[in-house]
Amino acid sequence: MPTLSVDGADVHYEVQGHGPPMIFIPGTAMEGSFWSHFQVPEFSKDHTTIIFDPRGTGRTVTHIRDYSTSRLAADVAAIIRHVNLGPAVVFGHSMGGRVAQLVALDHAQWVRALVLASTGSSFKAKGGIPAKTCLGIIHKGYAAYLREHTEWIAFSADYRAREPASVARFLDWFIDTLAPIEVYFDHVLSRQEHETTARLPFITCPTLVTVGGDEAHGTSDTTHIASAQLLARMVPSARFEILEGEGHFYTHSAPQELHRLVRDFLSDLRNQGESR
């Protein structure tokens, strides 16, 4: 499997398909195979899809303990440059969407368009790991707490009742690919310290913002819906779409609807380019 040496890390990445490049950035301390279930099979039909294991996860070997969103954004830009197919559609989910914002702001020449899925630009409480997370891990253990928490935010109650086997498969994969707890905490710290709110008006590429309609709850000082609404207001000409009734991982519970929204967005980009 290919790796790219970038500033103290040997980053594992995978490329599939042919066509314009499209790179996918996973959420907090998650590996790139998150996207292999649904998004890579769909978009590799007509794009060169790129997934990678962020520092500390999967098969990436990390030599320097820097998991900041700016560091991860530089890694993404390096991968796009290395693949050498020109600017990419950058698709980030959750913490990956925070990284994606910095790719667009600090490495704009490598970004054709942004998809920001269930993400935000800041937290009111800066720094530190949320107390509820720490207490949950202390009382229940790392894997048990994250499994329970992820099931709660990832899927709506309706979907959990309707598709228990699908939920179980996802959670089994999630636990099997957990990063070491110290890496998870480092990624959470980086996520909490991320701040791009004042810079959002300077994102110049076409942007699609998506969020699940069942994301009005959470354990932090904001919700994914509120955060997504702020992005949609502040990123110039951003398109905003809500997937009604869906939890945080509609990438897995409603992939067809998500793919339709993304394809409509990309089709409009192509049509605008052809009309010029």
Confidence bin at 217 (pLDDT 50/70/90)? low
Weakest-pLDDT range from 21-35, 93-107, 219-233, 249-263: 219-233
Q: Nearest CA to 251 among 58, 117, 158?
A: 117
Confidence bin at 133 (pLDDT 50/70/90)? confident
Q: Is 131 exposed, middle or buried, given 0-12, 13-18 or 19+ CB atoms closer than 10 A? A: exposed
Please compute the mean of the pLDDT values over residues 133-158 and round it to a whole number: 94
Q: Is pLDDT of 28 > 50?
A: yes
**Secondary structure class of 257 (helix, strand, coil):** helix
Q: What is the DSSP letter of 63?
A: -
Instruction: Determine the pLDDT at residue 274.
Output: 46
**Secondary structure class of 259 (helix, strand, coil):** helix
Please compute the mean of the pLDDT values over residues 116-135 and round it to a whole number: 84
Please compute the mean of the pLDDT values over residues 217-228 and round it to a whole number: 74
Q: Is pLDDT of 127 > 70?
A: no
Place of tokens 């796009």: 80
Give the amino acid at 75.
D
Dist CA 145 CA 140 (whole Å): 5
Q: What is the 3-state secondary structure (H, E, C) of 86-127?
A: CCEEEEEECHHHHHHHHHHHHCHHHEEEEEEECCCCCCCCCC
Please compute the mean of the pLDDT values over residues 45-58 and round it to a whole number: 98
State whether CATH 3.40.50.1820 applies to domain 3-275. Answer: yes
Confidence bin at 276 (pLDDT 50/70/90)? very low
Q: Is 157 exposed, middle or buried, given 0-12, 13-18 or 19+ CB atoms closer than 10 A? A: exposed
- What angle do helix axes 164-176 and 142-154 make, rounded to 10 degrees? 140
Q: Where along the chain do its domains lie?
A: 3-275
Instruction: Determine the pLDDT at residue 223.
Output: 84
- 8 Å CB contact between 267 and 260: no
- Contact partners, residue 49, CB within 8 Å, separation at least 6: 15, 16, 17, 22, 23, 24, 35, 39, 40, 43
Mean pLDDT of the chain: 94
Dist CA 34 CA 255 (whole Å): 13
- Contact partners, residue 154, CB within 8 Å, separation at least 6: 167, 170, 247, 248, 249, 252, 253
